[in-house]
Amino acid sequence: MPKVHGSLPIVWDDALGPAYAAGAGAAAPSYTVDFIAETGGNANELRLPTFSETTNDRVYFTVQFPHDLYIPASGNITLRPHVHWTFNAEPTDGETVVWELNYVIAAANATFAATVSVLTATAYTTTAAAEIRKHIITSLGDITMSAADAGPSMVLVGNLKLDSSSTIAASLVGLLSFDVHYQKCPIGTDTEFA
């Protein structure tokens, strides 16, 4: 029977929301901008969902948390959503990228809130360095919730967009992935065949 090993540290893991698993709505990012252009005429271009803050481009997703989610007997748990993204082309220096997450979350058999919560990331400001195709990770802040409200198979429903305060030019920001760090305990058995 698996059990939590109290002498080992609690560790972090990802609950994943890959970019192409996210659904696009009426204000969808573009899926026609090349991340890496075709070479040799054999349709080998690569594309990412590409955002513009002026059109409220957004993607919709759900993230289900695994059963190994660490839930203390009392107190709170902390979830850390973040965005993996890149630039499809070199941005102008001094422009900003600000991501916004709108979400609700509920454990199994619990009720989702009727209104969304909002997390807005700190602005990323472009620099004079070459940033095209750089893998950038931006934290959206913390989601803190009561341990009593958390549970295995808990689901976060949300949308992700560029905040309207962003100053980045259109068609430059490509989404790689959205995910949420959560804590879990090392799990295993005391003996090989137990």
Q: What is the pLDDT of residues 63-110, one digit of tens each?
A: 988 888 889 999 999 999 999 999 999 999 999 999 999 999 999 999
Question: What percent of the chain lies above the pLDDT cut of 70?
Answer: 77
Nearest-angstrom CA–CA distance, 124 and 90: 15
How much is the mean pLDDT over the chain?
A: 84
Residue 23 has pLDDT above 80, yes or no: no
pLDDT (0 to 100) of residue 116: 95
Q: Which two tokens stand for residue 65?
A: 């948390």
Residue 111: pLDDT band (50, 70, 90) is very high
- What single-letter DSSP state applies at residue 123? P
Residue 1: pLDDT band (50, 70, 90) is very low
Question: What percent of the chain lies above the pLDDT cut of 90?
Answer: 50
Residue 190 has pLDDT above 80, yes or no: no
Question: CB of 92 within 8 A of CB of 169?
Answer: yes
Q: What's the Cα-to-Cα distance from 181 to each of 57, 59, 134, rounded to whole Å? A: 24, 19, 21
pTM, two decimal places:
0.83
E strands, 19-88, in order: 23-24, 34-36, 46-47, 50-51, 58-64, 76-87
**Cα-trace Rg, the chain:** 19
pLDDT (0 to 100) of residue 20: 53
Residue 44: pLDDT band (50, 70, 90) is confident
pLDDT (0 to 100) of residue 126: 95
Q: Residue 9 region, left (φ>0) first, then alpha (ψ -120 to 50), else beta?
A: beta
